[in-house]
Structure 1
């Protein structure tokens, strides 16, 4: 019963969170802030929707997992209810058996008749005791039957109410998730269009200042994106590259925040060419990291960055077959000096 109360409290809490997300303003109502006006507003809107989509997905997955848990609980409850039904049937059978035994043993004779037929005081006392025990057994069986039937009805009503609330909430979660993802897809398409125009012109639009995550990183090195799928790896061959692939590709949607893998300084920000919009960072120890095919940049050349700081947003500019982040580790700021980025990050405690 305490577990059920906790789930009942969880429903309004999550629905309040949904209301807060749904009530947040869209790009059309937001102040574009710093940077280049509408361009900055679009990049910030994509970043905001990206975070909201992550929250909505997390809530939806939590709701889906709870639904699975509730389904398992319902199955266990149904098994319990079946057991209660069998128990009630057994009690009814016991009542019938007791009644038949009373009939066969003359347990229903009046007390006066028992006194006349008794062989003596002891025989009379034994008869009275048997009669009392029989009545007690009948009354107990009837009480147990009534209690079991009442529990059965209460459990069925509780399960039905819980299922209705769960289905309603999961429908709201799914609708909210779909709405945010639709808005995000539209904003991503617009952002990529602006990025393609900048890359074609070879002129960057300037740094777009994005709201940074509130939680600071405690580790000195991190992965360049939070969630991803690894695609083309370092050293792989194919018609897409003149020799071998020089970095590690992370398959992520357009607009995904790209993070500085470690503390450093912005060595270069450029647009155009095979890498499209790219950023190169310089780190201590003579190493550099490159982030390519971006849709926007959030830092300026010469700027100091910290581990995990958002430095741009992923895209598909330059020689790119689809949205992804191309990441390199180098010994110079220029291409042709790359090392295996996976093992380079692994040596710094980052496992991809």
Structure 2
């Protein structure tokens, strides 16, 4: 790998997708709105990201409630130990007061009683007993009752959150199943277009709000770098002429800078591809796509979505092949990693 700053796909792909997709402006008739299968995949990415966010929030909240319940349980155990110690003290006082004639003193009956508080509220309370011990027993029992109620409340809240999270997990699973099916259909449609030698119709997706002042960006937002520039192997006629970004099918692919689309092609080793011309005589290529969001001749800005990733052409799995050239044709490729780094985009 050329970079030690690879971003892992295990880090929240769906959560990053939520941030990116939530930035889209509202649907507008003059912007196309994105009505094709690719747009459906993006909407399912958004739904899956939201479901994942809700599930993660619920999981963290449930864990906090569980920790609170355990904390109350520890406090309650300590309070019960304190009460037991007070009862032992009362026992010692009772034994000291017992004279062997008549009814046992109140302190002994407090120790033996099932409900010492009730006994102390009765007429027997007039019997001589240490007021400090009596007060301590009452406070300790009240503290026990309060902690028991708080523990029960925290336990009930935890159980309720666990039940809700089970529902959220099921919803998340269903949405991800729909997303998987939609991505498969998108890829099948793309493969059929390539096999027929025709490009799919561009799906004019609602574009994200591009942050002002950014002249250059990475071609995808969340990724893992895979095959680097210059690698040799049986998969390439000579050496690898670009940098690969491992991303799932349907991931939005961005123009790295301002330019004009000079080529849209569907077929051959690159599958569905887009080539953009930039100032300074440079060209960028985006290959193995599953869907298009631009047409030839379109003007694009840095960060604008130009298509969606796939695995068309000579590809062993979903990824984006990104290439930088000095001409629109193959054979003039530069290493994209230092080229982007020089423009403030480290990978």
Q: TM-score, normalised by structure 1?
A: 0.75
| Structure 2: distance between partners of 1:351 and 1:98 | 78
**Match of residue 88 from structure 2:** 93
Residue equivalent to 1:299: 294
**How well do the aligned residues superpose, as a CA RMSD in angstroms?**
2.8
Residues 1:53 and 1:283: Cα distance change in structure 2 (over 3 Å): same
Aligned length: 294
Contact 2:76 2:144 in 1 (8 A): no
1:215 and 1:181 map into 2 onto residues whose CA distance is: 27
Aligned partner of 1:171 in structure 2 is: 166
Which of residues 260, 263, 269 in structure 2 aligns to 1:265? 260
Shift in CA distance, 307/64, structure 1 to aligned 2, threshold 3 Å: farther
Partners of 1:297 and 1:188 in 2: CA distance: 14
One of 40, 44, 47 as aligned partner of 2:42: 47
Alignment of 1:12-27 (within 5 A): none
Cα 1:58–1:233 change in 2 (3 A) is farther
The CA distance in 2 between the partners of 1:218 and 1:147, in whole Å, is 63
Distance 1:64 1:95, change over 3 A: same
Change (3 A) 1:100 1:286: farther
Work out the CA distance in 2 between the residues paired with 1:133 and 1:218: 84
Q: 1:148 to 1:91 in 2, by over 3 A?
A: farther
Instruction: Name the CA distance, whole Å, in 2 between partners of 1:307 and 1:133.
Output: 88
Unpaired runs of 5+ in structure 2?
1-28, 100-126
SS at match of 2:130: helix
Are 2:284 and 1:289 equivalent residues in the alignment? yes
In structure 1, the partner of 2:303 is: 308
Closer, same or farther in 2 for the Cα pair 1:96/1:285, shift >3 Å? farther
Q: Which has the higher contact order (CA 8 A, sep 6+)?
A: 2
Secondary structure at the counterpart of residue 141 of structure 1: helix
Q: Distance in 2 between the 1:220 and 1:133 partners? A: 88
Map Cα deviations across residues 290-332 of structure 1 (whole Å, 9 max, x no partner).
Answer: 1110011101112111222111111110001111111112222
- Larger CA deviation: 302-311 vs 273-282: 302-311
- Aligned residue number for residue 227 of structure 1: 222
With structure 2 as the length reference, what TM-score do the two structures score?
Answer: 0.76
C-alpha deviations, 1:209-256, integer Å up to 9, x for none? 112225646532222222222221222222111222121211111111
Q: Distance between the aligned counterparts of 2:182 and 2:93, measured in 1? A: 77
1:161/1:206 Cα in 2 relative to 1: closer, same or farther (>3 Å)?
A: same
- How far has the Cα of 1:103 moved from its partner? 5.2
Query: Residue 316 and residue 103 in structure 1: after superposition, are their counterparts in 2 closer, same or farther (change >3 A)?
Result: same
**Greater shift in the superposed pair: 132-141 or 286-295:** 132-141
